[in-house]
Amino acid sequence: MKIFVTGATGFIGAAFCQRAQQRGHQIAALFNPAQARPLLGANTWWPGRLDALPLRELAEFQPEVCVHSAWISTPGEYLESPLNEQHLRWSEGLVRQLPALGVQYFVGVGTCLEYQPGDARLQEEGALTSNATAYARCKNAFRESLFTEARRAGFSACWGRVFYPYGVGEHPARLCTSLIQKFRRGEKLTLKTPNSTKDYIYIDDLAEAMLTTVEKKFQGTINWGTGEGISVRRIADAVAGILGSPELVDEVSPPQVDPLGYVVADATKLRALGWRPEVSLEAGLRRLHAAIQRSND
């Protein structure tokens, strides 16, 4: 199928494009006109932005599907950035324009931070939503407007909530890469919230989850997570073990409580589509460590 992807140069978007192209789909994507054309897994690249779409080229491409992953995601900035409001407006404009160009299925990339955390796996319809940050509030608002517009204009829509992706290509400030770099320098780590538990999904498994959702034309809201909770302590121990330095990990006593202490997906819907994770935590961390080692050596 013909898929138009926004955010195709990002961590998640690039992984999705590569997986979709490997499966034989035709991909078209945008790149910043101020930057060089990317060398990523997409058949067609156009200079453009969400607020200045290349409508003529899109019409000629005749996309059947749009996967919209473009959004601010810079660690330390994205949660309260004013750019969230801009992305909300741009995204709503995108949804209004694409059906006229032939798009009949729109997939929005959401976040697990839309949920209020609790002590159980988060179900798409059962868990409460949260507007605690600008990021979550704008994602929630776009999800609602997407489904409203889909009903009005008569196209199909899906909202995929991403949990905690990690792997090769992630931002260097993200947890797994920062731990690898820290332990490579021989620096000791004292964990404040060692029991904090999240649903970490390797980037290739996330790309496969997204593509499975697209190929099955799933409609509604779906969690893109493994359904397995992994503690910060387990990640730190695994990374330290890979580098042969388990003595570098310690924790405060008593440990502090993380307000987002348990954020794990109920993956029932995703698994019903036939998806299963293929990369274990330890295997994913080893792949990430090998990539970092190659880039640093």
pLDDT tens digits for 149-191? Answer: 999 999 999 999 999 999 999 999 999 999 999 999 999 999 9
How far apart (Å, rounded) are the C-alpha atoms in residues 246 and 284?
Answer: 18
CATH of the domain at 285: 3.90.25.10
Q: How far apart are CA 204 and CA 212, in angstroms?
A: 12
Same domain, 173 and 239: yes
Q: CA angle, 169 as apex, 235 and 42 as ends, to 5°?
A: 140
Inter-axis angle of helices 203-215 and 11-22, to 10 degrees?
60
Together in a domain, 218 and 133: yes
Does residue 68 belong to any structural domain of this protein?
Answer: yes
- Decide if 92 is inside a domain: yes
pLDDT tens string 72-128: 999 999 999 999 999 999 999 999 999 999 999 999 999 999 999 889 999 999 888
CA atoms within 13 A on the CB side of 63: 27
Q: Cα separation of 30 and 184, whole Å? A: 36
Residues 172 and 256 in one domain: yes
Global confidence as pTM? 0.96
Residue 270 lies in a domain: no
Helix (H, G, I), strand (E, B) or coil at 195: coil
Expressed as residue numbers, the domain containing 45 is: 2-165+200-224
Name the percent of the chain lying above pLDDT 90. Answer: 89
The CATH number for 85's domain is 3.40.50.720
Q: State the pairing for strand pair 230-231/197-198.
A: antiparallel
Per the domain annotation, does 62 fall within a domain?
A: yes
Whether residue 36 sits in one domain with residue 10: yes
